[in-house]
Amino acid sequence: MVALRAILSCVLVAAGLDGQGPPVLLDIRPGAAGSSPNLQFDSNGRDYFSADDGTHGYELWLTDGTAAGTRLVADVAAGAASSSPYVLGAVGANVLFEADDGVHGLELWRTDGTARGTSLVKDIRPGPGGALTTAASGATAVFHGELYFAADDGSGAQLWKSDGTARGTVAVGPVTPGRSVTRISWMFALRDRLVYFAGPQIELFSTDGTANSTRLVTARVRFGGSPHFVWPGVFRGEVYFSGAGTAMPSLGWELWKSDGSDRGTVLVRDIVRGSGGSFPGPFVARSDALFFAAGPNVDRRLWRSDGTAAGTVLVSPNGLDPRYLVDVGGTLLYSAHDPNHGRELWRSDGTLAGTRLVADIRPGIEGSNPGDGKVGWPTEFIAAGSRRAWFIATNPFVGNELWVSDGTATGTRLAADLVPGPGNGLPTFVTLAGGRILFAGDSASSGRELWVVDPGATAQSTGAGCSHRTAVPSLTMSDPVLGGAALLRGFDAPLPSAAVLVLGPRPASNAYLGASCYLYVNLPLSVVLGVVLPTGPSWSLPVFVPPSSSLTGVRAVLQAVYVAPVGLEFSNAVVLTLGS
């Protein structure tokens, strides 16, 4: 067992948390009007969001979850006008976002979190029209240290990339070569290429980022949209999606996967025979399997897949129409329906015996509808650490409020009752940033404002690993509870290799090392927690956490660097917050 006792004082950063407690109001616009915050993007423990403080209009704000650390970033559209910012991604030390300053239209901006460090990156389409108002805009992704997005410079929508500078903001090529342009629906960075779904038939495209390298991956399949929640997902370096074979009229919308090449785009399994299809999705990846809902209409059930036809199997016939799947320390928590309880909170460990109802939050057949938000607003169901999920649910005695669950009936409880009694707090944009749960919610005295809850100890995986192989190393850890032993686990390790465990503070920006590799720790201030010599693709190591209450709220980042004969490989990062 490795102990943190001797190294905590040199590498960890205090966060000022003091254990679980009631929700705390961060009142940006005092009074009943509220600032209507829209939480958007976590950048190294700080959350960027848009809000209207009643003076500056709807602008970009930043918070670390404390009142002192919550502030306006910049008044892009001067005065009471609104720039309506929306964060697109982070590149180096800068966060890139779209905004309209009232002069250039909706264009690409950057910020380092300060007013002085906020500026227009490039006026891609000169004039007030803006380049990002095109219908081709939509999903974005960071690939090889650059942000990819769709923009129209006046000559038609194209795929663009940016390193955060004017010179480094350039057009890659047409968004959909040979097709009419529509919105980019989904975008994913794989090991050596960027893939995205776009075009009138929502087909799969690929690029390596060089000029005119964008191409249609295959004409054999197109992506399927439906009333079911079928957005794609990534598992072991491949993108999985609900697709329909263009030359397979007898095949409905079924489970496909792609590595970004024509040959590597294949049908995984025809789950529902015939032309009706199973509409698989949404997807959540665990280290050993991909989980998703599949089935016709309301007869959808929980499935799992290892990427092969034989390994794609029904988990359980119980719990209809699973939604909002999240992985909480290896256990899935999600919303599902049954005839006796309505839509309620369910759990599964990936087996038939381990799949069951967690809690009947709203007794009767109507159900509490966990995760279902206000119509037109985002759904709310997130994992925070390895022990609990946070979600919205409705109960006639407390209304629509924030709940928390550890996957047991006794551990499922109301987390925040913003409007006491049957009134609705309507929480939205629930997110974990800086070791805190942040969300927007209503109250009678403050209107719609920003709220924060301390979840206690959390270990949150972030970023992605990189590898010379198809398999990519990953790292998980159970929550670092004071006085306990947290279990550190590695998956898909190269063999032979030595895993060097680097522990340190989170840097201001992640260092891009090339070839899709990132360093997520502040290396000069870091230490080596230990070295593991894996004997197989998976390994585990218990880590002792001291019981001292003075360590409550202390944060650090852990990453594994694999030294292998073929070169270095890196895992994702695990952000640790010590606590109860």
Which of 509 and 149 is assigned the larger pLDDT? Answer: 149
> What secondary structure does DSSP assign to 526-556, as a single string?
-EEEEEE--SSS-EEEEEE----GGGTTEEE
Which run of H or E residues covers position 25? strand 24-26
What dihedral angle (degrees, nearest 10) is formed by the CA atoms of 507, 43, 196, 120?
Answer: -100
Q: Residue ranges of the alpha helices (H) in 204-274?
A: none
Partnered with residue 476 across adjacent β-strands are 489
Torsions phi, psi for 549 (to 5 deg): -65, -20
Residues 6+ apart with CB under 8 A from 285: 233, 234, 235, 236, 291, 327
pTM (predicted TM-score): 0.92
Instruction: Name the residue type at position 424.
Output: N
Q: Which residues pair with 477 in a beta bridge?
A: 488
Residue type, 396: P
At which residue do the structure tokens 């090392």 appear?
513
Task: Give, as one character, the DSSP assignment of residue 8.
Answer: H
Taking the C-alpha atoms of residue 543 and residue 11, their distance in angstroms, rounded to an integer, is: 16
Edge-first strand listing for the sheet containing 86-91: 86-91, 94-100, 106-111, 119-122
The model's pLDDT over 92-137, given as tens digits with 9 standing for 90+, comes to 889 999 999 999 999 999 999 999 999 999 999 999 989 986 545 5
Residue with tokens 């025809």: 270
Task: Find the helix or strand (DSSP H, E) in which 502 lies.
Answer: strand 498-504
pLDDT for residue 495:
95
Distance (Å, rounded) from C-alpha 463 to C-alpha 251? Answer: 36
For residue 524, give the DSSP letter. Answer: G
Spatial contact of 208 and 261, defined as CB atoms under 8 Å apart: no
Q: According to the model, what pLDDT value does residue 294 have?
A: 94
pLDDT digits (tens, 9 = 90+) for 417-474: 999 999 999 998 899 888 899 999 999 899 999 999 999 999 999 988 999 888 899 9
Domains belonging to the chain, first-starting first, are: 458-577 (2.60.40.10)
pLDDT digits (tens, 9 = 90+) for 398-433: 999 999 999 999 999 999 999 999 999 999 889 988
Distance CA 202, CA 160 (A): 19
| H or E element at residue 10 | helix 8-11
More confident residue, 3 or 344: 344
- How many Cβ atoms from other residues are within 10 Å of residue 10's Cβ? 12
